[in-house]
Amino acid sequence: MCQLLGLNCATPTDATFSFTGFCQRGGATDHHADGWGIAFFEGRGLRLFVDHESAADSRMAEFLRSYPLKSRNIIAHVRKATIGQVCLENAHPFTRELWGRHWVFAHNGDLKDYQPHLHAQFRPVGTTDSERAFCWLMQEMAKSHADVPSVAELTLTLRELIPQVRRFGTFNFLLSNGEALWAHCSTKLHWLVREHPFRQASLMDHDWTVDFAQLNQPGDRAAVIVTTPLTRDEQWTAFAPDELKVFVDGQPLG
């Protein structure tokens, strides 16, 4: 199984602290050593980094930990391969274009015998069940809406589509179009919001403590979504099984 990390922020924010701890789970403090990736939205643009090496050992991951790219929506993934070989095309996150926007998706879980019918516009490049599920979600969302829908409309559509994939197995995922971040939990996912008054936090997987009050302004806010809590001194909330949450401007809607 894999692990997920997502940030949805009110203002452009770097993920250096969270990503540093998260990378250790890619082969150092945990066994998710079969590739990794991270995507940063920048306006309508997207920076995507993927690697088939372990995140704990990757020179590219080391570079990103010391080069703080700022974004309002970030999705990262460390992989433990179960379906699909260890190679670059099977590294998450995956990206597609829909309605003139980049979409980014990362998945944790196994979907057994999952072979959905896919049209020409959305086809997987690699061999993972995860990319197949992403392509199907994109295909069905495109069929459901003739033009760019609102976040609320997309959330309703996803609530209808997710059970059709979920019945094939474990379907924890993060999805973003740069405007919002959707997080679905079928087995394990946690979240918190960092906002004023900011406090300090200490990573579980790395010897690093940060005082966020020294780094943030009162208007800053960041929602952090992760498979297993990253810090030992913050209050994380567990998702309920089969819960879908959408985050906008660093806070959950509804």
Q: Which of 32, 36, 2, 34 is nearest to 19 (CA)?
A: 36
Active-site annotation holds for 185:
no
For residue 106 the two structure tokens come to: 């990362």
| φ/ψ (deg, to 5) at 166 | -55, -30
Q: Residue 73, exposed/middle/buried by CB under 10 A (0-12, 13-18, 19+)?
A: buried
Residue 242: partners with Cβ closer than 8 Å, 6 or more residues away: 162, 166, 184, 185, 186
Q: How far apart are CA 213 and CA 138, in angstroms?
A: 39
Q: How far apart are CA 81 and CA 147, in angstroms?
A: 36
Q: How far apart are CA 110 and CA 92, in angstroms?
A: 14
Catalytic residue (choose from 2, 9, 23, 185): 2
Quickly count helices (H) and strands (E) in the chain.
4, 15
Q: How far apart are CA 99 and CA 68, in angstroms?
A: 29
Q: Which of 178, 193, 170 is nearest to 83 (CA)?
A: 170
DSSP letters spanning 150-163: -HHHHHHHHHHHHH
Residues acting as catalytic residues:
2
